[in-house]
Amino acid sequence: MKKLTYLILAAGLLFAFAACDDNEPQSFRAADSNASFPTTTASVDENATEPLEIPLALAGIKGSGKVIVTLTASSEGESNPAIEGTDFVIENKEIVFEDGCGIQNVIVRPIDNDIFTGKKTFRIIISATSPKLLESAQNSVLVTIVDDEHPWAAIIGTHNMTGISAFDEVTPVSVPALITASDEDTNVLNVDFGYGTLAKMSVEEVDGEIVVTMKDNQYIGPMPKPTGAWNRYFRATHVEGEDLYTMGALVGIFDNGVITFEYGFGFQAIHPTTGASGGFFTLLMDGVISTKVN
């Protein structure tokens, strides 16, 4: 199961802890009490074996009495909405804080299915509190359910792209790459070489073979593009004797966890202002092999 991902807003948590401290500052009043989500986003795999736990914080004065926070789920306005009861279940839509402050977890269980529907989203919203408290600006959290039935799931994962260095035609080279699904197109995958910007890989079935294609000249460096350093570009290449050619794309065949490419590739250094080539950071000979390792 993938790790749950959160964007933590530390200020909300610190405020909640401060209010619950036995020596709470005098500036905090009972009238300031509020419930909020310290996280703005959360995600869980559709086939996760453990539930998603989302923290809910109540900033209040310790010992001030029981507070009940009521939650609702909403998919209104989401482009690919997750439906409560079909795609997920919230186990505790009423959270009780017996001591008037603290942090508790909202429990969300995704519902697995056998159909590829892509990532789905919904919001958990604080709909009511008893007694009535101040409304927090952080009164909702966006939850993403990640589909596990991607048609190209056999390709998605961590790869080692291996070949022979074109610099000396002897040294073995291994380039790690993380291939993930794209939100824009099922038949386009993201390739992360670890430099900042994702390259794109298209996938299609042709005459019974799974063909992958990576277009030439894709920028893969950090954004915004640095103006004081060489920019890094993915190049589809072909080495013939002492001659180096760039191709329109790097094309390969995927079978049983391995992509076999006819030609090679490299990471070219391009001057940030003139566009001139500064050579290659990495350059592999023809016949690159990409093996899925995880």
Question: What kind of fold does domain 6-146 have according to CATH?
Answer: Immunoglobulin-like (2.60.40)
Token readout for 54 is: 């989302």
Instruction: Give the tens place of pLDDT for each residue, 221-260.
Output: 999 999 999 999 999 999 998 899 999 999 999 999 999 9
Higher pLDDT, 66 or 1: 66
Task: Tell me where in the chain the CATH 2.60.40.2030 domain(s) lie.
Answer: 6-146
C-alpha 107: how far from chain center:
21
C-alpha–C-alpha distance, residues 102 and 121, integer Å: 27
Residue 23 scores a pLDDT above 90: no
Instruction: Give the tens place of pLDDT for each residue, 176-201.
Output: 999 998 878 889 999 999 999 999 99
Instruction: Give the tens place of pLDDT for each residue, 82-136.
Output: 999 999 999 999 999 999 999 999 999 999 988 888 889 999 999 999 999 999 9
C-alpha–C-alpha distance, residues 160 and 200, integer Å: 17
Residue 107: closest CA among 91, 124, 95, 96: 91
C-alpha–C-alpha distance, residues 77 and 91, integer Å: 23
Residue 19 scores a pLDDT above 90: no
C-alpha–C-alpha distance, residues 262 and 288, integer Å: 7
| DSSP line for 175-190 | EEEEEEE-SS-TTEEE
Do residues 18 and 28 touch, judged by C-beta distance below 8 A? yes
Mean pLDDT of the chain: 90
pTM: 0.61
Residue 54 scores a pLDDT above 70: yes
First to last CA, the chain: 13
